[in-house]
Chains A and B, each alone.
Chain A
């Protein structure tokens, strides 16, 4: 198992990848990707049991992850590449014509590590429930993980899925909410407040955990607790407080970097704050 320090180093490299990928095509979503880099690193490099090579779509006897907020594609691609699902140098093709690294994740081009298309929001929890139900039917005791944006929770389908998972006791499922309080048009509270989010998940019958999504030690610990909470007749959700743009000082504390790419100068300034730990692609 990697140490906290090693995980932090990996997350730093992932942040560099994200910024360089988005800068190269002047498009993408750095804010949420940077904010969830620690969580995704912990998940793929420590918590989940998974097999990058050869990639199996059915993920039998593997833990599965579904990125419901598909605009964090740069983050997912970096983590998958750094895990060995595909060559790290392929990150240079992000969002370019004929790439397997489409703007939003897709199975269409056969990129290893992706099991469903996402991008149009609100669909990933339902898909994860289906995958979790299939695991139960197949007597496969591994776990299904998801990540959702907090703004994404404004989609009605999420609440259909929340209702279902609790009512039908889908207890091999750990959902995660990137609770950064920001969306494209501004603070979530101003756009459409989620109200008491914890109370809502609890009222829907979920086992709710909370953590600081930018503290590696706390994330790993919380994910391990979440795992212990599975198999107890309730789906588990982690409300994970993150800082959009985390790791780059001028990208934090604002929603402006939700979907904007850094220019040359901004990239240089950002990379200066992130040590090249594993070697750039």
Chain B
């Protein structure tokens, strides 16, 4: 098992903040909007450096999405930031009509996604956002795994023409990918080559997948671990090549099973390469208050859950 080292835990939203500032420095057309959550989204540095290119819209997310769409007409590249819940479900029709259907170059930047938002509870813990966004034709959906990757993804989406949903989170999590990495949208990243089981993880669950790989290695199991930071467009080739070799699959994500990464992989495999599969995801349930660690434990989004799923699915191999 390839060794990965945490270079110092940090939050992915801070990666977004740094990436936004960098994107703003590189391209004067990059602008940012926020619905009263500048601090939470770590947008302060951009606001300070580019006050004339920042729009505080207040607690009015629908208006924020519409303004973003309008800004693209004047060739601006708007990064609209708020919590994942308010960035998707609350404004689904605005995104659908004014952004996705209209093919506008809006970057929807969603923090505090999933259970790890923690104590605020289920009203704020959206677990359906990936599904909502990936269903929209033409929408690119990205869920990076750590600080460095979120920063790189933020810079990369500024250079990509088209609507993007960028999902990140609140808590400090291990930072183990390369600093200043080149982020390639739609490209799965092979973290460990293996032959016994394919583990596809996204977002915060990627680190847990690595930990699971280490535990499996101790048991003599050689897991292939792949970071799927882009849920749409899905790197079908990477997935099919891996599954062709391992013949069984585990997906892991901080999202509902319905509509998430696992759902996308299952669709691909059922059409092209039917394969036994287990999903580590929230099973048709809302979240609740608690610390991020407690919630991930209670809802089964842990390293051990990935290990158990791997053992189970290997037994199901044909």
Contact = CB atoms under 8 A, between A and B. Distances in A.
Interface of A: 57-60, 64, 66, 106-108, 115-120, 122-135, 137-138, 140, 156-157, 160-161, 163-164, 167-168
B220 interface: no
A130 B102 contact: no
Interface in B103-153: 103-104
Contacts of B75: 58, 134, 138
Contacts of B94: 123, 126, 157
Contacts, number: 119
Contact of B58 (A66, A120, A128, A164): A164
B92 to A, nearest CB: 10
A123 B74 contact: no
B13 interface: no
Contacts of A138: 74-75
Given A58-B73, A64-B73, A123-B94, A130 B60 contact: no
Contacts of A130: 66-74, 78
A279 to B, nearest CB: 33
Query: Which residue, of B67, B69, B75, B97, has the highest number of chain A Cβ atoms within 10 A?
Result: B67
21 contacts: A58-B75, A66-B70, A115-B73, A116-B70, A120-B96, A123-B93, A123-B94, A124-B66, A127-B67, A127-B98, A129-B67, A130-B68, A130-B69, A130-B71, A130-B72, A130-B74, A132-B70, A133-B74, A134-B73, A140-B74, A157-B66
Given A161-B63, A163-B58, A106 B70 contact: no
Given A117-B97, A117-B101, A137-B52, A127 B74 contact: no
A58 B77 CA distance: 13
Interface of B: 31, 52-53, 55, 57-58, 60, 62-76, 78, 93-94, 96-98, 101-104
Contacts of B68: 130
B62 A118 contact: no
A66 B73 CA distance: 12
Contacts of A156: 62
Kindly list the 3 A-B residue pairs having the minimum CB-CB distance in the complex, ordered from nearest. A130-B70, A126-B66, A134-B74
Nearest to A104: B97
A126 B91 CA distance: 13
Contacts of B65: 126
A60 B76 CA distance: 12
A139 to B, nearest CB: 11
B191 to A, nearest CB: 38
A91 B121 CA distance: 53
A126 B70 contact: yes
